[in-house]
Structure 1
Amino acid sequence: MTSYTLDHPTLGHIEYRDRKRYLWLSSLFMPLFPMLGIGLFFVTGSQWALAVPLVFSYGVIPFLDYALGSDTNNPPEEIVPQLEEDRYYRVLTWLTVPMHFIVLIAIAWFVGTQSLTVWSVLALAITAGSYSGLGINTAHELGHKKPLFERVLARIVLAVPAYGHFCIEHNRGHHKDVATPEDPASSRMGESIYAFALREIPGAFRRGWAVERERLARLGLPVWSPRNEILQSYALSAVLQGALIVAFGWIMLPFLLVHNIWAWFQLTSANYIEHYGLLRQKEANGRYERCQPHHSWNANYIFSNIVLFHLERHSDHHANPTRRYQSLRNFDDIPELPNGYYGMYLLAYVPWLWYRVMDRRLLALPHIRGDLSKVNIAPDKREAILARHGQVAGVTA
């Protein structure tokens, strides 16, 4: 196992080994998991086998997160520069990009060449969309990095779910406005995931285009320019998905529609749970305080983190956006989710259960302690929330 060492002038000899070094390969191969369902179909002849990847994602992974528990280990800060320069970690993200293309094309081929029930096609479209949603996570890791090569790879992989505006919107919009009422990608207390999706998906689209229009204007270029990074990704989406329609016929139209929408909804699901109800305070100058670790919900669950490039250490990511996944840290006294992302998605899909679990957890946070003035509340739910929690929170309507 690779060891990172440093002789520090005051701390002495420091040695660190990343115990998850080779477990990170799981993030590389996770997008290929839908192929297991197709393989089992050819072995068993049963179309039920096609649902295995969905059962794994939404059933097995939450159980493994519960069973394996959390890892709160942090690399020593003195070692982080060595850790971030280790090419192994970034090559894993590079190699993940073609995996997303391979899987979508393979599933499209299967749908277009096999005699399947409508339900099987729907299950495969959702499966493909779920794992193409991981492509947005890959783009999330790559799109924050300084090397142009990695940022180009981010645009390329976003072509799979046809979500080419993500990096522009996320980096220059969401990170600026996160945990404020102005951010369409930060969910509010009392807002269901379905209401959030109707606000977040079009809101992010509009903000992404507005930010890119401004960038191009500064360069003296029109928005419909070959240098428009959103259009570059969309063009590749059109080529990819258009080729699938030509190759496999009309069945690709509903298949790709469901695939794209479900992939987008996976991003929406992540955004929903990552900042639910959290609020940055305004300073005397009218600006919002700098984003801190306690402005994001964090999770240290071992399994889902190793298949998501440490996405769940979201608190450090927002405080330090360019930090690479292998170096992201855990902090004490920050908002902690009670399960990994896949388990929290299931919880969010049942709003009354989500509110029952998360609202009390939100109000109990050390930096909130029941003070509703420190919570990002859905405007249309404010009166009901104040009536329900105001006495406990020390706030009156």
Structure 2
Amino acid sequence: MSQVIGRLLAQVRTPTPAADAALATLVGLPLLGWTWVVLTIAPGPSPVAFAGALLAHSAMALRRTAPLASFGAVAAGCAAMLAGAGGLLLPPSMLVFPWSLYSMCAYGSRRALGWGPVAALLGSAAVGLRFWLNPREASGLPPAFVFLFLLAVTMMMWSFGLWRRTQRAYLESLEDRARRAEADREERARRAVHDERARIAREIHDVVSHSLSVVISQAQGGTYAVRTNPDRAAGILTTIADAGRHALADMRGLLGVLRAETPLESESAGSAPTLAELPRLLEGTRAAGLAVTFRQDGAERRLSPAAELAVYRLVQESLTNTLKHAGAGRRAQVVLSWGSAGLAVQVQDDGPGDSRPPGGTGLGLVGMRERFQAFGGTVAAGPATTGGFHVSARLPYLQRTEQT
């Protein structure tokens, strides 16, 4: 909703000839009609005065798209009104002069700013001179008073134009800062995904090496079993087939989330952790000052190394975020629920849930989603309804995530 309102406000702030023409017509028609009436009643007017009024009102349609040219046309029109107004000292259409002066200062170039005080001084002096040359029509108003009053009004409009110009520059700087912040956030998210996928590529060696080691060792033993114990050789071949099938499934699952340009590094960054190492992770977290409780529901099932690694990293990242955002002295709970169709992982703490990015948009959780999506799983994170922050994930039992 806020983005829609922001776009509407941006459209209103954007100078458009159609909007300026509509406003100039709305304001100009009453003033132009009033000017025509008083010029008709006043003694000795010339058609030049009405032509000047028409020029001034028409030029206001370009007050924001071509402010300096518009002001020049308005000034020429006002001069024509003063010269041909006859006994009418100040036609009503002269009111467009301060409005045009404001527009020139607010929307014109920096060079146009210096013309503001000069135009205000000359315009006020021209009207004051006309009052001085026509004392009978001036009704006793001192020309000096008229000059100073009009100078104050025009300088005030020039000041309003400067204020509007400063406001526009400030809003543009805020919008530019917001655009750069959004671009930076997207770039950091893309970089996090890239780094996580690169780390997955490094771990492929560890995830698959176990299965390949089994294949090699069983194949070596099978060459002897074929000659000495054919029944045992059949079991060895079955083991080799299962290990190869699981290795291929893990490779497909992990490589599916990698970009084509991501290099596959053959060197391992260390042994890939499994669920059996969760107690050690929890002990290290408790030593850091976070009280963690762990519970498993349902009958535990054996997962593939890649799936176990995904679950381990999710718990590790969630507890790390709790230490980072909630601090030591808090409590957290880790629950693994082994259901009939999949494994549900819940990590919840009692810290301030609103101190973290909404909807789980942290960079670490971006990588966790990538891991679980490789196996058809999902990850959700956010403030818990009972307080604190929670991370929930679901990993379905697929052929490539479960070992039989």
Q: TM-score range by the shorter chain?
A: under 0.3
Q: Which has the higher strand share?
A: 2
Find the structure with the greater CA-based Rg.
2
Which structure dedicates a bigger proportion of its chain to helix? 2
